[in-house]
A = this chain, B = another copy of it.
Amino acid sequence: MGISIGDTLKLNIAGNQFIGILMPRFESADENHLVIKLKNGYNIGIELTKIESITKIMQEPNQTVSNMPSSSSSPIPEPPIKRSEGEDKSIPKIALISTGGTIASKVDYRTGGVHAAISASELYASIPELGSYASVDTEVLLNEYSENLKPEHWSLIANKIAEKVKSGRYQGIIISHGTDTMHYTASALSFALQNLPIPVVLVGAQRSSDRPSSDAALNLIGGIVFAIKSNYSGVFVAMHASSSDDVIACHVGTRVRKNHTSRRDAFESIDVAPVALIKGNVVEMQHSEIKLQKRASSSERFVVKPDYDSKVILLKYHPGFDPELINHAIVDAGYKVIILEGTGLGHIGRESFPQIQKAIESGLMVFMTSQCVWGRVRMNVYDTGRDLLNIGVIPLSDMIAETAIVKAMWVLANSKDSESAKKIMQENIANEISSAIPIS
């Protein structure tokens, strides 16, 4: 029909007119649909048989983007796409490492379901405006929904980031990631990558990038803007700050949580403000209680500790909780750490005290967090807390439970004995414990 990817088209469908840019059709997509990106940034899929007429309004100026085959689920290095022939030294350089998830997935128009399938370069290609912010080297490391990621994957991602950091070629690194466990991975990287010279920003999407109302493009652009412009280094998560499509919030990796199943602003910093808001290409640092490290010109002080030991059990307490479950953790399963998600200020029912005591006597470390999500564990206020302290339960202040699980896995693999493990668990390594006295 004489039209190509990137052309601006006018389509007439059942009396309605749609104007938008023709998007690449991915390998696994339905052949009976076109996908066009509307002016408001939304992508829509249109059934070919329903299209009454197509008019080409404008031709894509630089037709270099091809329909790349989808990547398989194993790590496949992929050649970076160059947007222009000569490499422009004045444009900041970013590494984009894709791990999968909705941000790299698309709707199957036959079933309405979403598949993890597109590659980092396709993602880059589908958001042409990225080129005006940075020169982006893309690489597919994994292609997994994040609920399938395990501590081994954290190690893989940490090592890949370390490689990119040490190359000295990048002003920042973007990790595209499924949102389900993005905060767990952000915590894991926060502990593994110490004294990072540049920012590492995880971005995801709550709606797939070839879908109306996708948040993929803005999150990715927000993450890149922060990665380029921020004076600070560390591990961050960049996602929508509200349900409107204009402001991105940048959160510290250890203090962020996915607090909604579907909203675009599902990610929230817990007990602190986000460290920055990104509006267009402006980074507004917030008055946050968080102390950040400055960006550094060399990776001299950069340390990588990418190992995790998953012998950690999370027990969330509730009325009717069976203390026998603690015995299982001690006897059958070889766990080394129990993370309790207690009630309120850090409590569990008295009936479980003997088993907790037994766990500690058996050499397990038992740490307390709160299922309240917000606020600080304070175990010296009530009898229950004081008794648990006496038994040897260790309170983790305002560390969020999800971060505590990850930190325990990291500490187990990175401390010489249980005394030093307990000590490191209570130290602030990566802003997972805030020193602020809570307003009472």
Contacts and interface: CB of A to CB of B under 8 A. Distances in A.
A258 B372 contact: yes
A383 B107 CA distance: 11
A422 interface: no
Interface string A255-280: 00011111100100000000000000
Interface in A248-307: 258-263, 266
Contact of A383 (B145, B185, B342, B381): B145
A265 to B, nearest CB: 11
A386 interface: yes
A148 B261 contact: no
B374 A260 contact: yes
A227 interface: no
A262 B345 contact: yes
Number of contact residues on A: which range applies?
Answer: 35 or more
Instruction: Report the copy number of this chain in the oligomer.
Output: 2
A373 interface: yes
A314 B308 contact: no
Contacts of A112: 380
A163 interface: no
A260 B348 contact: no
Contacts of A179: 344
Given A377-B261, A438-B262, A313 B341 contact: no
A187 to B, nearest CB: 10
Interface in A111-127: 112-116
Given A312-B320, A370-B261, A381 B113 contact: yes
B181 A148 contact: no
A318 B262 contact: no
Interface stretch (A17-25, A35-43, A190-198, A325-333): A325-333
Interface in A215-265: 243, 258-263
Interface in A412-439: 438-439
A266 B375 contact: yes
A344 B147 contact: yes
Contact of A318 (B181, B266, B318, B322): B181
Contact of A310 (B113, B320, B348, B438): B320
B341 A316 contact: yes
A333 B328 contact: yes
A380 B151 contact: no
A207 B344 CA distance: 12
Contacts of A243: 439
Contacts of A333: 322, 324-325, 328
A75 interface: no
Contacts of A350: 147-148
A215 to B, nearest CB: 12
B113 A383 contact: yes
A319 interface: yes
A76 B180 CA distance: 49
Interface string A100-141: 001000000000111110000000000000000000000000
| 7 nearest CB pairs, A to B | A261-B375, A310-B320, A180-B343, A180-B344, A147-B347, A260-B375, A260-B374
